[in-house]
Chains A and B, each alone.
Chain A
Amino acid sequence: MGHYFRPTTIKEALSLASDWPGNYKYFGGGTDLQIYRKQKLLNNEAIIDLSELDDTCSIKADENSMKLGAFVTLDEITTSSDIQTHFPLLAEAAASVATPVIRKTATMGGNLLVNNRCTLYNQSKEWRDAVGSCLREVGNICLVTGGKDKCFSRNVSDTAPALIALNAVVIIHSQDGKKEIPLQDIYARDGIKFHDHLDEDAIVSEIRVPTKPASWWFKKLRLRKTLDFTSLTVAATVDSAGIARVCLNGVSMSPVLIEESLKKLTVETVIKKARKNCKTVDNDLMPLKYRREMINVYLNEWWKSK
Chain B
Amino acid sequence: MSGPIGKPTPYIDGVQKVTGKAMYTDDYRFPNMLYVGLLRSPHAHAHIKHIDTSAAETYPGVAAVTVGTDLPISFGILPISSDENAMAVEKVRYVGEIVAAVAAETMEAAQKGAEKIIVEYDPVRAFIDPGDSLEVCDPAEQIHSHTKGGKNIHKTAELRFNEPEKALEQSPFKRTESFKFAGVTHAFTEPHSTIAIWNGDETLTVISATQVPHYLHRNLSKVLELPMHRVQVKKPALGGGFGGKSDPFAHEMITAYLSMITKRPVKCTFSREEVFINNHGRHPTTIDMSVGCDQDGIITALDTDTIIDGGAYGSFGVVTSYYNGVLLQGPYKIDKLGFRTRRAYTNKSQCGAMRGHGAVNPRYAMEVILDMLAHDAGIDPCDLREKNFLEENTVTVGQLRITSNGVRDCLQAVREKSDWDKLYGKQPYGRGLGIGCGFYISGSALPIIWNRYPQTVVHAKLDFDGRIVMFSGASDIGQGSDTMLAQIASEELGVPMNYVQLEVADTKTTPVDLGSYSSRVTFMVGNAAKMAAEKLRNEMAKAIAKEKDVSADDIVFRDNKIFTEDGAVDISWEDGVETALAGRGAIVESGYYFSPKMGGDFKGSGAGLSPAYSFGAFISDVTVNPSTGSVKVEKIWAAHDCGKALNPLAVEGQIEGSIHMGLGQAVSEDMRYVNGQIVNANFFDYRIPYSVDTPDMDVTIIESNDSEGPYGAKEAGEGPIHPVLPSIGNAIYDAVGIRMMELPITPDKVLAKIQEKG
Give the interface of A toward B (CB within 8 A): 99, 119-120, 123-124, 126-127, 129-131, 143, 221, 223-228, 285-287, 289-290, 293-294, 297, 301
Contacts and interface: CB of A to CB of B under 8 A. Distances in A.
Nearest to A287: B748
Nearest to B747: A290
A289 B748 contact: yes
B349 interface: no
Contacts of A124: 273, 681
Nearest to A297: B627
Interface string B660-703: 00000000100010110101110011010110110000000000
B43 interface: yes
A130 B693 CA distance: 34
Interface in B28-50: 40, 42-43
Contact of A224 (B628, B689, B748): B689
Contact of B628 (A120, A227, A289, A294): A294
B693 A131 contact: no
Nearest to A294: B628
Which of A124, A127, A129: most chain B Cβ within 10 A?
A: A127
A226 B693 CA distance: 8
B668 A226 contact: no
Contacts of B679: 119-120, 123, 285
Contacts, number: 62
B684 A227 contact: yes
B751 interface: yes
Contacts of B687: 223-224, 228, 285
B273 A224 contact: no
A126 B685 contact: no
Contact of B675 (A131, A221, A285, A289): A131
A127 B627 contact: no
Contacts of A289: 748
A124 B270 CA distance: 14
Interface residues of B, number: 28
B577 interface: no
Contacts of B748: 286-287, 289-290
Nearest to A221: B628
A131 B685 CA distance: 18
Closest 7 CB pairs between A and B? A290-B748, A130-B42, A225-B692, A287-B748, A226-B690, A224-B693, A130-B95
5 contacts: A223-B668, A226-B690, A287-B748, A290-B747, A297-B627
B680 A285 contact: yes
Interface of B is mostly: loop
B746 interface: yes
A124 B684 CA distance: 13
Contacts of B751: 290, 293
A225 B43 CA distance: 36
Interface in B6-41: 40
B128 to A, nearest CB: 14
B692 A226 contact: yes
Contact of A130 (B43, B628, B680): B43
Contacts of A226: 690, 692-693
A127 to B, nearest CB: 6
Interface in B519-543: none
A45 to B, nearest CB: 15
Contacts of A127: 273, 677, 681
Contact of B677 (A131, A223, A294): A131
B692 A130 contact: no
Interface in B618-673: 627-629, 668, 672
A126 B40 CA distance: 8
A7 to B, nearest CB: 29
B693 A225 contact: yes
Contacts of A285: 672, 679-680, 685, 687
Contacts of A126: 40, 42, 96, 273
Nearest to A290: B748
Nearest to B41: A130
Given A226-B693, A285-B685, 19 more contacts: A99-B690, A123-B679, A124-B273, A124-B681, A126-B96, A127-B273, A130-B42, A130-B43, A131-B675, A143-B674, A221-B628, A224-B690, A224-B692, A225-B693, A226-B692, A285-B687, A286-B746, A286-B748, A293-B751
A275 B360 CA distance: 41
B746 A223 contact: yes
A131 B628 contact: no
A224 B668 contact: yes
A294 B747 CA distance: 11
B755 to A, nearest CB: 9
B674 A120 contact: yes
B690 A227 contact: yes
Nearest to A222: B687
Interface string B83-122: 0000000000001100000000000000000000000000
Nearest to B686: A285
A293 B748 CA distance: 9
A225 B746 CA distance: 14
B109 to A, nearest CB: 14
B678 to A, nearest CB: 8
B334 to A, nearest CB: 36
Contacts of A224: 668, 687, 689-690, 692-693
A291 B680 CA distance: 19
Nearest to A38: B271
B746 to A, nearest CB: 7
B436 to A, nearest CB: 22
Contacts of B42: 126, 129-130
B673 to A, nearest CB: 12
Contacts of A120: 674, 679
A293 B681 CA distance: 28
A286 B685 CA distance: 11
Nearest to A124: B273
Nearest to A129: B42
A161 to B, nearest CB: 18
Contacts of B43: 130
Contacts of B273: 124, 126-127
A124 B679 CA distance: 10
B608 to A, nearest CB: 35
B562 to A, nearest CB: 53
Contacts of B693: 224-226
Interface in B714-740: none
Contacts of B96: 126
Contacts of A297: 627-628
Contacts of B672: 285
A285 B182 CA distance: 14
Nearest to A99: B690
A106 B307 CA distance: 45
A301 B693 CA distance: 23
Contacts of B692: 224-226
A124 B273 CA distance: 8
A121 to B, nearest CB: 11
Contacts of B95: 130
A130 B677 contact: yes
A227 B693 CA distance: 11
A127 B687 CA distance: 19
B690 A225 contact: yes
A221 B672 CA distance: 20
A273 B689 CA distance: 35
A290 B693 CA distance: 21
Nearest to B39: A126
Which of B96, B627, B668: most chain A Cβ within 10 A?
A: B627
Contacts of A99: 690
Contacts of A130: 42-43, 95, 677
A227 B40 CA distance: 30
A228 B43 CA distance: 30
Contacts of B677: 127, 130-131
Nearest to A123: B679
A124 B96 CA distance: 12
Contacts of B40: 126
Interface string B594-638: 000000000000000000000000000000000111000000000
